[in-house]
């Protein structure tokens, strides 16, 4: 029964990503006609945004088909960097998930944050969705950054921040996130850019992309006076 629930969660995630991909095609076309503010404010090129959606759909499909039913995996993609979060039953499944993801065309790097744990409960996932909304709302309130430049992912109270940002923007967002009630830790999975830099092409993929460990990036606990340092993940 538990495995069926986990499988259903993965299937729902795949369907949601597919829907987002189809919607993304429409948004990209609207942007070409001068109608999409979201695409216009994204620092990725339109091509990179489309590629990210395709990578996400492919990764969810491959992981659903090839990992145990008890796995619960979320896939977030930004500028060809793939973040894997969730839970898998054993270390072999964690490594297999990374290998499957790295094998997908145009993946630049993989941040494997899967935990070898039982699949999270429905209430835990609901709380993560709530935290994502709270963090996004918090980022909107800061005038020195644009919330549109950040992708927010929450897993078991750990919040991951992705995006093409300057070091200052990244620090502001991480510090703001750390102050949101319920956030256990903030992990920065940024790709840094220069101030004033606009659209940024996706990173060049190689035949064997280098995996990235988010533990190399500084983290900060959810305390009001936390100091946040920044170091790019290359």
3 state SS for the chain: CHHHHHHHHHHHHHHHHHHHHHHHHHHHHHHHCCCCHHHHHCCECHHHHHHHHHHHHHHHHHHHHHCCCCCEEEEEEECCEEEEEEEECCHHHHHHHHHHHHCCCCCCEEEEEEEECCCCCHHHHHHHHHHHHHHHHHHHCCCCCCHHHCEEEEECCEEEEEEEECHHHHHHHHHHHHCCCCCCEEEEEEEECCCCCCCECCCCCCCCCCEECHHHCCEEECCCCCCCCCCCCC
**47 in any annotated domain:** yes
Strand order in the sheet with 81-88: 72-78, 81-88, 109-116, 211-212
Residue 57 and residue 96 in one domain? yes
**What percent of the chain is predicted at pLDDT more than 70?**
68
Domain end marker among 66, 95, 116: 116
Q: Does position 16 have pLDDT exceeding 50, yes or no?
A: no
**What pLDDT is recorded for position 227?**
37
**What pLDDT is recorded for position 206?**
42
**144 in any annotated domain:** yes
Q: Which residue has the higher pLDDT, 2 or 50?
A: 50
Domain end marker among 83, 116, 149: 116
Residue 144 and residue 213 in one domain? yes
Q: Does position 25 have pLDDT exceeding 70, yes or no?
A: no
Residue 126 and residue 183 in one domain? yes
**180 in any annotated domain:** yes
Both structure tokens of 23:
């919607």
Pairing, β 219-221 against β 185-192: antiparallel
**110 in any annotated domain:** yes
80 pLDDT band, cuts 50/70/90, is very high
Looking at the structure of the chain, the number of domains it has is 2
Residue 104 and residue 155 in one domain? no
**187 in any annotated domain:** yes
Domain end marker among 116, 149, 182: 116
d(CA 164, CA 183) in angstroms, rounded, equals 22
Q: Does position 38 have pLDDT exceeding 80, yes or no?
A: no
Residue 129 and residue 195 in one domain? yes
**88 in any annotated domain:** yes
**215 in any annotated domain:** yes
Residue 210 C-alpha from the chain's centroid: 17
Q: Which residue has the higher pLDDT, 66 or 230?
A: 66
**229 in any annotated domain:** no
Residue 107 and residue 136 in one domain? no
Mean pLDDT calculated for residue range 59-77: 97
Residue 137 and residue 97 in one domain? no
**What pLDDT is recorded for position 41?**
75
Structural domain including 159 reads: 122-221
Residue 18 and residue 95 in one domain? yes
**What pLDDT is recorded for position 203?**
62
Residue 112 and residue 130 in one domain? no
Q: Does position 208 have pLDDT exceeding 50, yes or no?
A: no
Note the pTM of the prediction, 2 decimals.
Answer: 0.74
Pairing, β 81-88 against β 109-116: parallel
Contacting residues for 121 by C-beta, under 8 A, at least 6 apart: none
């Amino acid at each position: 029964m538990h495995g069926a629930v986990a499988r259903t969660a993965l299937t729902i995630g795949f369907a949601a990503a597919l829907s987002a991909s189809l919607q993304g095609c429409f948004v990209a076309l609207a942007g070409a006609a001068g109608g999409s503010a979201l695409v216009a404010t994204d620092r990725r090129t339109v091509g990179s945004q489309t590629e990210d959606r395709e990578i996400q759909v492919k990764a969810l499909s491959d992981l659903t088909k090839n990992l145990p039913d008890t796995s619960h995996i979320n896939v977030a993609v930004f500028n060809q960097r793939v973040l894997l979060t969730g839970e898998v039953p054993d270390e072999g499944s964690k490594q297999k998930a990374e290998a499957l993801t790295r094998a997908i065309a145009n993946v630049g790097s993989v941040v494997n944050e899967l935990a070898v744990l039982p699949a999270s409960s429905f209430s835990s996932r609901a709380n993560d969705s709530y935290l994502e909304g709270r963090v996004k709302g918090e980022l909107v309130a800061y005038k020195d950054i644009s919330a549109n430049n950040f992708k927010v992912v929450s897993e078991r109270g750990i919040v991951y921040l992705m995006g093409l940002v300057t070091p200052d923007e990244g620090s502001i967002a991480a510090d703001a996130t750390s102050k949101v009630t319920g956030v256990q830790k903030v992990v920065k999975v940024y790709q840094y850019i220069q101030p004033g830099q606009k659209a940024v092409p996706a990173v060049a993929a190689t035949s064997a992309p280098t995996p990235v460990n988010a533990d190399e990036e500084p983290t900060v606990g959810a305390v009001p006076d936390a100091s946040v340092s920044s170091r790019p993940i290359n």
